[in-house]
Structures are given as C-alpha cells and as structure tokens.
A and B are shown apart, each in its own frame.
Chain A
Amino acid sequence: MSRVMVRVRVNGAWKEAEVDTRTLLVDLLREEFMLTGTHIGCLTGNCGACTVMMDDLSVKSCTVLAAQANGADVLTIEGLAPKDSGTSNLHPIQQAFIQHHGLQCGFCTPGMILSAYQLLMRNPKPTEEEIRVSIAGNLCRCTGYQNILKAISAASERTLQQSGKRALRR
C-alpha cells in the first residue's frame, strides 16, 4: 500500500499515474505529467512557487499529497494560455506581468500569477491592500513586489474593460 493510483483532471484533461504514496502534488505534476511550469522552492509551504488551483482554490502543491488530489480539478500555469499560441494569446494576467515588468528571474512567476488568478476570480476589482494580501504567500527575491502589484492591478482593469470574469476564466 505504499503505492497509490491517482487520477486528476489537469488543465481540462483527465490524467492518471501510479505513484509512491510520498509523492507530492507538485511532484506528480512535474515528474509524472511533465508540467514543469509549477516550481519547487522550499517544500515547507513558505515560498508559494508551487501554487496551483485545486478545485477552484489556490493551494501550495508541495503541501498536498498527490493522493489527496485524487479526483480533483487542477489548473497549472500551463493551463492559463493555449499551448504554443505565442505571446499574443497569453492570459491577461500573464500579459500584464510582461507589460509592467512584474518578473525578473521568473522563478516565482507561475505561483504569483496563479495567486493573482485566485484573487481576480473572487474579486475582479481589488484594492491595493487586497492585492497585497493575495500575494502574501508568494515570495519574490527580485522585483521588490511593486511591479507585481502594478501588473495585477492592470490585469484587473483590463479584464473589467473587457468581459469581466469571462476573460479570466480558464
């Protein structure tokens, strides 16, 4: 019983794998499903680089056993933009991060963007304070956060101008 069968809906498609019970959700995504956009930083739930959406809630995938995600609907950074579509089809949050220089080395970026996604899905027009609270669980050692705040704020304005939540939903 030290191996377990896990079936997860990842970015819209059901996938399954038989894994060691010690496998974390982030390991399942990266090593079984080859979705390496989700990063591993600390393995202690501090840094937020491994943030993904699980059943419409942002979680740190290094603190979730793969077996606990059995049956869950998972959205990773790869699911935000259509595959191989180039920069023109990036998700509005991703475009805003580029436009406002919301990343430097890029290591924290997938987690930051998923945290922003969680925020804007619940609260399309957040205040600056609410944006700060939303990324409190994501560490960035490069940017000093200011441009990340600008990017999330711009993504909020842009999607509101367009069709609200529908422009965000993946």
Chain B
Amino acid sequence: MMNKPFDYFAPKSISEAVSLLKKHGSGAKLIAGGQSLVPLMNLGLAAPRQIIDLTHIKKDSLSYVKLDKDSLMIGSMTTHSAVENSPQIRRHCRILSETAMTIADVQVRNRGTIGGSVCHADPAGDYLAPLVAVDAEFRAINPKRKVRTISADKFFVDIFTTALKRDELLTEIRVPKRPSTRNGSAYVKHKYVEGGFAIVGAAAVVSVNKDGICDRAKVVLSGVSTRPVRVDMIEKEFRGENLDERAIEEAGRIVREAVHDPLSDIHASADYRREMAVVFAKRALRLALARSRKTGAQHN
C-alpha cells in the first residue's frame, strides 16, 4: 500500500470541487481518471495530502463533446476512448482522435481523460503538440466562478507545470472549427515500445488554397523539450509557397535548428531525439499535406 495517508473527497459539483481546492491549498490534488497520478502514488513519487476526486461529479457536466458555430468543445473529463471514437471529433478535429488512438492501451484510454492528461503536462504527453498546433483554448474556473481562457501555447509552462492557478479547475478544451476542405492535419509518434510515451510526437496542420499553395503550415513537437516546441519558422517560410518534397526537406532542416536543447533519457539521447524530431516532423507534414489535398470531411 502507498506510504503516505491522504484524505479523500468526492465533490458532487464543479463548485464544490474548486472550493475544496481553495480550502486545502498546495497539498491537495485533483484526480480524474488517475492513469498518471495513481501509478505515481503507488511508486511513492507523488504523495498528496488530500485527493479531490472528480469522478463522482455529475457525468455530463465535465464529460461531453459539443459543437457550436465556431468551435468544437470537449469536456475535461472526456476519456481518451471517447475522444478516439467521437464522430464529431473525427469529423472536425481528426488529429485529436488520431492522437487519442496512440495513447497507451485500451484500458488506459477507457479511464484516462484529456483534461487529466493536459493538466499532468508530461512533456511526452501526446495531446500537447496537437492541441498547440490546432490553436486550442483551455477554459478554467475558480472558486469565485470566474472563467479564464488560456491558449494551449501558454498553458504548457514546463515539465509537469501548467498555467493553471492553485484554485482553478480545467473544465473545457475548445478547438476552432476549420473548413473540411483543403485542410489537413496529422499526428505521428515515435515510441520505444507499444503503448509507450512519445520519444517524439509530431503534429502538423496544413491549409492550402485552391491552387495547392500553402496558406498555413504548423509543426509542433511533443517529447523533445520541457514544453511543446512550436516550429514557427516553417509557417513563415512556406506561406504562399508550393509545399513540394523539396520544401518538406527544407522543413526538416528548420526543425533541426528549432530543437536546440532536446531532452535526453534512458530511451533516447539528445542527438537521437533531434534526428527523430526531423524524421517525424517530415512524416507528419507529408501526411497532413496529402490529407489537405483530398476533399471531404473525413480528411481535415
């Protein structure tokens, strides 16, 4: 059994949960699916003094997928399995379903949540790069019921560190809707074992005009640094250009420059990570580009 005892709270509402967070301060930890936190507690690497469990909050208040005119809205307690299988997400933000599919294994996807994953902010977490690439926004609520919106790019601050304040709870992730034609996106992942974390996770989002000329080309990488790496030069370099194979090779060179201080661990040295960032960024770009050239909703 875990070493350190903790108090357990099962709030029934979001406001009750944030009040408990405020009351207990820095020793308290929210738990959603628990797929990162419980193993860390079992290993003695995390020892919260209070656990505030979000699983008994009325299910549809934090677990949902909705659409309005401009955005796709995903409740923070939506499981990876639900993200993987949601017809709306598949239609309007295919890259997120594709990302969810690569996370761990069936059992972990059944239980783990998108909000839990992003709040844990493991640098090798799969959602980080694609959410930055699609310009997602994160909505958080505090005990005064004030809602704050944080862009994905600002949300991920450092290893296991987000922009959330101590008394804030992430309620929703919003992704702007894109037209279904001439937009393509892809997430490809280099892992050391089936179900493993990303050594490199590369997200690419591409828009082309009717002549096939690039309007937008974003590449964001997970797993290579303490926070997602945005390769902004690619966008600057290729807007208005034809994204041919020569351009993709050039993008690879830009990625190599952008990854200046890669992480190094037992699975991959810094140099190997940088090389793999180049390889997987090019693969993601090629795939996103191929999808942008196919018309139809299934390919955006």
Say yes or no: is B108 at the interface (Cβ < 8 Å to chain A): yes
Tell me the residues in window 27-78 of chain B with beta carbons closer than 8 Å to chain A beta carbons.
Answer: 31, 34-35, 38-39, 41-43, 51, 53, 55-56
Contact yes or no, B106 A118, CB < 8 A: yes
**For residue A133, which residue of chain B has the nearest CB?**
B106
Say yes or no: is A137 at the interface (Cβ < 8 Å to chain B): yes
Tell me the residues in window 1-39 of chain B with beta carbons closer than 8 Å to chain A beta carbons.
Answer: 1-2, 5-10, 31, 34-35, 38-39
Say yes or no: is B195 at the interface (Cβ < 8 Å to chain A): yes
Instruction: Say how far A14's CB is from chain B's closest CB, in angstroms.
Output: 17
Contact yes or no, B1 A59, CB < 8 A: no
Q: When the two chains form the complex, which single residue of A22, A43, A51, A58 contacts B5, counting CB atoms closer than 8 Å?
A: A22
Tell me the residues in window 18-74 of chain A with beta carbons closer than 8 Å to chain B beta carbons.
Answer: 20-24, 27, 43-45, 48, 51, 54, 57-60, 62-65, 67-68, 70-71
Contact yes or no, A115 B55, CB < 8 A: no
Contact yes or no, B107 A58, CB < 8 A: yes
**For residue A62, which residue of chain B has the nearest CB?**
B42
Contact yes or no, A64 B34, CB < 8 A: yes
Contact yes or no, A27 B1, CB < 8 A: yes
**How far apart sit A23 and B38, CA to CA, in the bound complex (Å)?**
11
**How far apart sit A20 and B12, CA to CA, in the bound complex (Å)?**
21
User: How many chain B residues touch the partner (CB < 8 A)?
Assistant: 30
Which of A59, A68, A136 has most B Cβ within 10 Å? A68
**How far apart sit A112 and B9, CA to CA, in the bound complex (Å)?**
33
**For residue A21, which residue of chain B has the nearest CB?**
B8
Instruction: Say how far A15's CB is from chain B's closest CB, in angstroms.
Output: 18
**How far apart sit A60 and B105, CA to CA, in the bound complex (Å)?**
10
Residues of B within 8 A of A45 (CB): 35, 38-39, 104, 107-108
Say yes or no: is A134 at the interface (Cβ < 8 Å to chain B): yes
- Decide yes or no: A65 and B34 within 8 Å by CB, A45-B39, A136-B195 being known contacts: yes
Instruction: Say how far A46's CB is from chain B's closest CB, in angstroms.
Output: 8
Interface residues on A, range: 35 or more
Return the CB mask of B93-113 against A: 1 if under 8 Å, else 0.
000000000001111101100
Q: When the two chains form the complex, which single residue of A65, A119, A136, A138 contacts B38, counting CB atoms closer than 8 Å?
A: A65
Say yes or no: is B225 at the interface (Cβ < 8 Å to chain A): no
**How far apart sit A138 and B240, CA to CA, in the bound complex (Å)?**
48
Residues of A within 8 A of B211 (CB): none
Say yes or no: is A160 at the interface (Cβ < 8 Å to chain B): no
Say yes or no: is B81 at the interface (Cβ < 8 Å to chain A): yes
Say yes or no: is A161 at the interface (Cβ < 8 Å to chain B): no
Residues of B within 8 A of A58 (CB): 106-107, 110
Q: When the two chains form the complex, which single residue of B2, B7, B35, B53 contacts A1, counting CB atoms closer than 8 Å?
A: B7
Residues of B within 8 A of A64 (CB): 34, 38, 111
**How far apart sit A43 and B34, CA to CA, in the bound complex (Å)?**
13
Which of A4, A20, A63 has most B Cβ within 10 Å? A63
Which of B7, B9, B10, B55 has most A Cβ within 10 Å? B55
Residues of B within 8 A of A88 (CB): none
Say yes or no: is A2 at the interface (Cβ < 8 Å to chain B): yes
Instruction: Say how far B55's CB is from chain A's closest CB, in angstroms.
Output: 5
Residues of B within 8 A of A59 (CB): 107, 110-111
**For residue A51, which residue of chain B has the nearest CB?**
B107
Residues of A within 8 A of B51 (CB): 21, 65
Contact yes or no, B7 A2, CB < 8 A: yes
Chain A residues close to B by CB (< 8 Å): 1-2, 4, 20-24, 27, 43-45, 48, 51, 54, 57-60, 62-65, 67-68, 70-71, 115, 118-119, 133-134, 136-138
10 nearest A-B pairs in the assembled complex, by CB-CB distance: A137-B105, A21-B8, A1-B7, A57-B110, A44-B39, A43-B42, A22-B2, A63-B38, A136-B105, A2-B5
Residue contacts A-B, CB under 8 angstroms, 15 given: A1-B9, A2-B7, A22-B1, A24-B38, A51-B107, A59-B107, A60-B108, A62-B38, A62-B42, A63-B39, A64-B111, A65-B51, A68-B34, A70-B56, A136-B106
